[in-house]
Amino acid sequence: MTQPEAPTLPAKERLILDLLVAHGSLYGLELVERSAGALKRGTVYVTLGRMEAKGFVTSEREKLPEGAIGLPRRHYRATGLGERALRAWSTLAAELRLVVQP
């Protein structure tokens, strides 16, 4: 029997989850600004799209006021699965640090 493939959690996705867990809900540009240069405007949306496909984040369009023009921004928040993945990664990283530096 084959095991279902475990979702991966690369560094940028961990950072995004960290920021979303800490701040609740953020727009793409806010994530870029709060990452202190670790996330770029040109790549953050691709990463967010991939994370949404994995089920780590969820997003909603903002509600525009009456008569507003332009596209509604999308704000993101971490899902339960995303938070669990982040916790599991943090635990694993702590365990590995203990193994490397007992």
Partner 1 sequence: MTQQQGYAVPGRALLGLIRLVFDDDATDLIFEPALADLQHAVNVAGARRGRRLWVLVREHAAFCKLLVIALTMPRAGAGAPLTALLLGRHSAGSLLLLVPVLYLGLSWLFAGFVAGSIVAGILMSFAIGSWNRRHPSIVARARRDTNLKDPEINISAVPVGGDIGGFFFVVASSAVALLGVPGLRVFVISAAVAGLLMAWARVAWIRTHDGPAVNHVVGR
Q: How far apart (Å, rounded) are the C-alpha atoms in residues 95 and 102?
A: 10
Which one of residues 10, 23, 40, 95 is an interface residue with partner 1 (CB under 8 A)? 40
Check residue 14 for interaction with partner 1 (CB under 8 A): no
CB of 80 to partner 1, least distance (A): 20
Check residue 93 for interaction with partner 1 (CB under 8 A): no
Check residue 37 for interaction with partner 1 (CB under 8 A): no
Check residue 34 for interaction with partner 1 (CB under 8 A): no
Q: What b/e readout covers 7-43, taking b as 16+ CB neighbours within 10 angstroms?
A: eebeebbbbbbebbeeeeebebeebbeebeeebeeee
Residues that bind partner 1 (CB under 8 A): 27-29, 40-43, 45-46, 48-50, 52-53, 59, 64-65, 68-74
